[in-house]
Amino acid sequence: MLNESPVDSLSLQPESVDDAARRATVVPRLLFQPAARATRAAESVATVCLAAQRLSAFFGDIAAVRDVDLSMETCRVTAIIGPSGCGKSTLLRSFNRMHETVSGARVTGSVLLDGIPIYGDGTSAIAVRRHIGMVFQRPTPFPTMSIRDNVAAGLRVREGKMPSRRDTDDIVEDALQRAGLWAEVKDRLRTSAVAISGGQQQRLCIARALATKPRVLLLDEPTASLDPASTQKVEELVYDLRSTMTIVMVTHNMQQAARVSDRTAFMLNGSLIEVAPTNALFTTPQDARTEAYITGRFG
């Protein structure tokens, strides 16, 4: 699968992923169940797309994430929840090697993308990030670029040739369509990316991440700075996108995790406490701490 994409400084030494053929459970939607949606194709068997193995992430000597083992299945949404400061964002940032961009930060253990270690020797962080897109808490459109150029920004730095203007236009349109923004901005693609609303900016950032066709999309509290209407749009978007890509979402909002995710992982003080199909985690948590958190006793 990796060969399809043009990049490959990810050197290919597949390691076996122990739970590679884990069966996915069909999760009934708790609160969010759009009637008119087509049922997903590969509902039955899920393979692991991204896996953390004994992953720890440090800031200096302080471990923000400790010994996490977590498998994220292909074309599923995995939500990571937990109280502020529990390390969920740091964990997410370890998945595309953004963690190490902070000075003094480092990671131990491994993360496998389709069986390939992203922290392996000879694997560049740049190549990893081109396969694993990320969207942040606050919208981050590049203010000096037009809407179109923002979406095309990632294409410029891919290896190989920059697609032609026409191809770029097609890719931009496709990405904006997938991000559900095309209808709103198609008449002003050349205008400033910061002139649109916050919610639109966030979907623009999602479109920008989609344009390079990543295998995985990481969302770091993508709706934390948005109003409820924009939040709903982003959630619907996430729900739709899972048919084509693996999504990992950090959220503060348990209802959101319940609405859009297939599996939910609960973190506390840097450790992964429990991971289960979303429905199971919210209805029959196995760990007392998970139960305490989801019933609102702390956090």
Partner 1 sequence: MVSLTYIAAALATLPLIFILVHLVRAGAASINPAFFMQMPKPVGESGGGMANAIVGTLILISIAATVGLPIGIGAGLYLAEHKGKRLANTVRFLSDVLNGLPSIVMGIFAWQFLVRPAGHFSALAGGIALGVMMIPLVTRTTEEMIRIVPNSLREAALALGYQRWRTSLSIILRTALPGIVTGALVAVARVAGETAPLLFTAFGNQFWSAAIQRPIAALPLQIFTYAISPYDAWHSQAWAGALVLIGIVLVISIAARLATRSRFGSAVD
Binding mask 171-200 for partner 1 (x = CB under 8 A): --------------------xx-xx-----
Contact (Cβ atoms closer than 8 angstroms) between residue 282 and residue 264: yes
**Which one of residues 126, 167, 170, 186 is an interface residue with partner 1 (CB under 8 A)?**
126
Q: Is 98 in the site for partner 1 (CB under 8 A)?
A: yes
Q: How far is the CB of 241 from partner 1 (least distance, A)?
A: 17
The answer for residues whose C-beta is within 8 angstroms of residue 223's C-beta and 6 or more apart is: 202, 230, 231, 234, 235, 251, 253, 256
**Which SS3 state, helix, strand or coil, does residue 236 take?**
helix
Integer Cα distance of 111 and 69 in angstroms: 9
Q: Is 130 in the site for partner 1 (CB under 8 A)?
A: yes
Closer residue to partner 1 (CB): 45 or 126: 126
The answer for residues whose C-beta is within 8 angstroms of residue 244's C-beta and 6 or more apart is: 75
Integer Cα distance of 254 and 264 in angstroms: 10
Contact (Cβ atoms closer than 8 angstroms) between residue 47 and residue 17: no
Q: Is 1 in the site for partner 1 (CB under 8 A)?
A: no
Q: Is 209 in the site for partner 1 (CB under 8 A)?
A: yes
Q: How far is the CB of 289 from partner 1 (least distance, A)?
A: 31
Q: In sequence order, what are the beta bridge partners of 140?
A: none
Closer residue to partner 1 (CB): 54 or 106: 106
Q: Is 143 in the site for partner 1 (CB under 8 A)?
A: yes
**Which one of residues 82, 115, 117, 154 is an interface residue with partner 1 (CB under 8 A)?**
154
216-220 and 246-250 beta bridge pairing: parallel
Q: Which residues bind partner 1 (CB under 8 A)?
A: 96, 98, 101, 126-127, 129-130, 133-134, 136, 138, 140, 142-144, 146, 153-154, 157-158, 191-192, 194-195, 205, 208-209, 212
